[in-house]
Amino acid sequence: MELLLDPNIWLAFFMLAALEIVLGIDNVIFITVLVSKLPAEMQHKVRQFGLIFAMVSRIALLFSLSWIIGLTEPLLTIMEKTVTGRDLVLIFGGLFLLYKSTHEIYSEVEDKHATYEESTTLDAAKQKGAALFWGSIVQIGILDIVFSLDSVITAVGMVDHLSVMVAAVVLSVGVMLVAAKSIGEFVERHASVKVLALSFLMMVGLTLIAEGFGAHIPKGYLYSAMAFSLLVEMLNIRSKKKRRLA
């Protein structure tokens, strides 16, 4: 009860929740891109699962604070550079994200293979749908853990109370659950926005790798660049729409 009456706790809670939402943007974009390849009836289910898994993994990591702190301790030294468990997670997560976003851009721009809807038989369609479903689940799980680790370390550095951290994570994921469907539908309607989102994920992957090697890149620069690119693309979409109506 004492926590609820402390204005500093409420301020920390809202600041942390806002930060968690910002840090979760790349997670939402990754899930949106992955589910776009699934059949329409699966997309909402996988999207919800991905975000709920993100919430569960973050809360589980919060309750494993001693393990999280251990990840920031040096594991080995290479050429006078200390390497921690967190560094390794960020590097491998960044490489995976870099590979995945590059592959998806190629598929979107160049690949001419048949899509899910072009499957020739019902059995083939079911098998392909199941493979896409579980493949998406595994990939979302891998990236959720990477994004959650960074998010939890940020939370630990901002707030001392575990209950406040958990509440902020739950609120941020709730906001993302509400917004994810609208974001997904918008990205699906505009192919250029999808490529832009994938390019953003490439930048995130490179940032994770850089941080894993000890080069800190402020996230504000990354999100500002993305916001500017998105603004330009919104103007481009509006201009195209006006020309069609003219």
Q: What's the mean pLDDT in 216-239?
A: 82
User: Quick one: residue 216, left, alpha or beta (phi over 0 = left, psi -120 to 50 = alpha)?
Assistant: beta
Q: What is the pLDDT of residue 233?
A: 85
- Tell me the C-alpha distance between 181 and 176, whole Å: 9
Q: What is the pLDDT of residue 84?
A: 82
Tally the C-alpha atoms within 13 A of residue 217's C-alpha that lie toward its C-beta: 16
Give the number of other CB atoms < 10 A from CB of residue 66: 7
pLDDT single digits (tens) 165-177: 788 888 888 888 8
Q: Residue 38 CA to chain centroid, in angstroms? A: 18
What's the whole-number average pLDDT of the chain?
76
Structure tokens belonging to residue 103: 């592959």
pLDDT single digits (tens) 148-157: 776 776 666 6
Q: What's the mean pLDDT in 73-94?
A: 79
What are the extents of the domains in the chain?
7-245
pLDDT at 162 over 50: yes
Instruction: State the alpha helices, DSSP H only, in 82-190.
Output: 85-109, 122-158, 162-189
pLDDT at 80 over 80: no
pLDDT single digits (tens) 110-137: 765 544 444 444 455 556 666 777 777 7
Highest mean pLDDT: which range of 31-40, 65-74, 177-186, 234-243: 234-243
pLDDT at 4 over 50: yes
**What are the CA-CA distances from residue 79 to residues 76, 82, 83 (Å)?**
10, 8, 10
Structure tokens belonging to residue 23: 């840090």
Question: Model's pTM, two decimal places?
Answer: 0.67
pLDDT at 96 over 80: yes
Q: Which residues partner with 77 through β-bridges?
A: 82
Q: What is the pLDDT of residue 6?
A: 67
